Amino acid sequence: MKKALLSDERVLNRKTKEAALAIRLEGQLSKDEILELYLNTIYFGNGSYGVQAAAETYWGKPVGDLNWADSALLASMISNPVENDPILHPKKAKEERKLALDRMVANGVITRAQATEFGALPLPIGRCTGVVVGFRPADCGTITQPPEESYFVEEVKQQLLADPRLGATYEERYAQVFGGGLQIYTTLDPITQNAAQDAHDNTFPSYVRSEANSKGITTAMVSVESATGAVRALVGGPGFADYKYDIATHEPGRQTGSTFKTFVILTALEQGVQPDDTIGGGGSWPSKGTTPDPYVISGGGGTLTGVTQASSNGAFVRLGQTVGLENVVYTAQRLGVSSQFDPRAKSMPLGVFDVTPLEMASAYSAIPNGGVRQPSYFIDRVENRTGKVLFAHEVNPTRAVSWQSACLATQILAANVAAGTGTNAQLRGQSAAGKTGTTESNTNTWFVGFTPQLTTAVWMGIPAEGTKSMGNLGGQEQFGGLWPATIWHNFNQAYVDKTKQKRVEFPTCIPSTRAGKPASGASDPLGLLNGGLDPVEESTTTTTTSKTTTTTKASSTTTRPSTSTSTTSSSTSTSTTTTLTPPTTASPN
């Protein structure tokens, strides 16, 4: 119960909350549904929460394709996912799997002959898709390596040159990286990277590409495996040989526009607001110490889901005031956003502060991961020339928001892709959810979204001049739901087609016990849906190996950007900035 809705903090009233929730759920869900909720939430080691993530981590396939041997292994890991880890402790894992198979025989699920057959099958060894810079790993066969001069490799180099584990001085680290014979295993997946690069290079028709080039307009994108935080693909901007500045990872980032509204949504859900609660529209608020004062914004109201689909600026500014902008800052920081925010800026929900595409993808990735944040990383492990592991990535999951809040946010963002500003991101055969973003004068346009496995941020703008408007492109006004959403679609569709992934549905949320009502920010008086901001209990330090990402779901016909005709679209903060004048307000999108 605590895994889905409560924090892991050991407090006196937690058992009372668990009991109350258990009674509520037994009246609303069948035993099979409660078991499904449990299996979609618990930890299976190696950064995997839920059976679907575990199936992908250990076997690289959907949970529906697991055999009895696979299922028995996962069942045996529930009690102790670290000690029974088949990668770290294969002997113990095999013993525990045999016990699980024996219990299946005793319960008449399988025969003794089948148990013997399944018990003889090899254990999974993890999927090896990480790319090694400069070396081919002996246990992974031939791996396509990225060009030595690429945004991904450059990011890896810079991280290694700054890592004190390779030397006390820059000179020592440089000697190790470029002359020490290191074997560097990274998280990059060639299939994912190729799909990302192709979407970046080929989404624009030729005449749009020509105009974009003449204006200095480009795109950047980064894709993260939600269950682990592994960065699977990175396109930092134009061709690396000509540009070299990585827009996707380098600070300070760019204004995020309405993609920031997701942090307001999560804050509201943590406070008990429901998707069908009513949010008021625009208004006027005193804004002492900032300009303009008062702060006036327009935009219609509606349900939380509805104002997200419409991307109503007025509704989200009002919701930000209701839930408290200090709390919105706290939510963003818990999700890993390191940018500095001024909670006095009434326009904060509209994405007027700068964040990098990497941080946006990483922050959003906690949502399909059940509210658990896995910090993004590029380097899986580093070995010396003899194969000795010098250091490896350590799993450090943190519960950023409750499982229920993450589930409801997924529901809202999926509705936005189905029938909101994000329809160009709809996928054939795969679930999709996300949010568009457009800043004032079309200086930045975004789409940040996720499937059950990959979370991807796409940014578009003029990198050389961060405040210059893109204007029209190909005769069309620019907004996040146009090219960024289409690039996101093309990348994810190509990935799911190439990997032949099966459709995976987003989880079903625990039903609300009340009808929708005006959002007050305190609609859960018992506090049963609040919390979940504490470190994950199972965050035992372990190391991981590179894993294959998988993906899947949603199909719908949608209109892509025109290629010939013109169209138009209509708590307490832990860190604040001393800036008194907030940046320019973002535009509706």
What are the residues facing 543 on neighbouring strands?
394
Position 62 scores a pLDDT of 85
Q: What are phi and psi of 63, to 5 degrees?
A: -60, -30
Long-range contacts made by residues 113-117, C-beta under 8 angstroms, separation at least 24?
A: 114/68
Report the Cα 121 to chain-centroid distance in Å. 34
Cα 49 to Cα 43: distance, rounded to the nearest angstrom:
5
Where does residue 524 rank: exposed (0-12), middle (13-18), buried (19+ CB within 10 A)? Answer: middle
CA 292, 298, 302, 306 torsion-angle sign: negative
Q: pLDDT tens digits, the chain, 589 residues: what are they?
A: 444 444 444 444 555 666 666 666 677 778 888 888 888 878 887 667 788 878 877 887 888 899 999 999 999 999 888 788 887 688 899 999 999 999 999 999 999 999 999 999 988 855 443 334 433 333 333 334 455 567 888 889 889 989 999 999 988 888 888 777 788 888 988 889 989 999 999 999 888 989 998 898 889 999 999 999 999 999 987 666 555 566 888 877 899 999 999 999 999 999 999 999 999 987 887 777 777 778 888 888 999 999 999 999 999 999 999 999 999 999 999 999 998 899 889 999 999 999 999 999 999 999 999 999 999 999 999 988 778 899 999 988 999 999 999 999 999 999 999 999 999 999 999 999 999 999 998 899 999 999 999 999 999 998 877 678 898 888 888 999 999 999 999 999 999 999 888 899 999 998 876 666 665 543 332 233 333 333 333 222 223 333 333 322 233 333 344 333 332 233 322 222 222 223 334 444 6
Secondary-structure breakdown of the chain: helix, strand, coil percentages, each rounded to the nearest 5? 35, 15, 50
Record: fold of 194-499 = Beta-lactamase (3.40.710)
Q: 39: how many CB neighbours lie within 10 A of its CB?
A: 17
Residue type, 78: I
What are the tokens at 71? 């299922």
Cα 116 to Cα 122: distance, rounded to the nearest angstrom:
12
What are the tokens at 339? 């940018």
Position 244 scores a pLDDT of 56
Distance separating the N- and C-terminal Cα atoms of the chain: 38
**3-state secondary structure (DSSP) of residue 372:** strand
What are the residue ranges of CATH 3.40.710.10 in the chain? 194-499
Position 10 scores a pLDDT of 44
Cα 176 to Cα 385: distance, rounded to the nearest angstrom:
11
Where does residue 80 rank: exposed (0-12), middle (13-18), buried (19+ CB within 10 A)? Answer: middle
